[in-house]
Amino acid sequence: MKKELIAKIFLIVVAIPTLMVGLQAFFDPQAIMDNVDVTLGNNSGKSSTRAIYGGMHILFGGYFIYGAFKAQREALLILGLYCTGFALGRFYSLAVDGAPNAFIGTWIWVETALAIGAWWLYSKQKAGNTVETAS
């Protein structure tokens, strides 16, 4: 029970900023890109930002909330893959491009910590473990 509660809290805590980024990017894609000094000068850039940082983050955030209550193991797997992918891309970029700005520098460590946490919690879940609610 304790592991399920920790996983539930972890997934909800991650879902909230994921949803916030998603909503901001969906409705104001330039605001998200301002954090990395990128100007979206055309509709294709706006569309891509709305899709990746907007729509995808909204759905991932929503799934993390659903998973917290109904499918923790699956949500932790997706979160682990999601954050590991971000961390790998950021570390590779650090190696080939050099140091990013402070905003991205912070996210390197946040995404790495979230990946480690997700994988650790995932490893503590039993296969086929879904959270059952009392009916």
Give pLDDT tens digits for 15-60. 999 999 999 999 999 999 999 999 999 999 999 999 999 999 999 9
**Does a structural domain hold residue 133?**
no
The pTM is what? 0.86
How many domains is the chain built from? 1
**Does a structural domain hold residue 101?**
yes
pLDDT digits (tens, 9 = 90+) for 90-106: 999 999 999 999 989 99
pLDDT at site 3: 86
Residue-range definition of the domain harbouring residue 36? 2-124
**Does a structural domain hold residue 135?**
no
To 5 degrees, how large is the angle CA 116–CA 118–CA 121?
105
**Does a structural domain hold residue 129?**
no
Any residues with CB less than 8 A from the CB of 1 and at least 6 apart, and which?
Answer: none
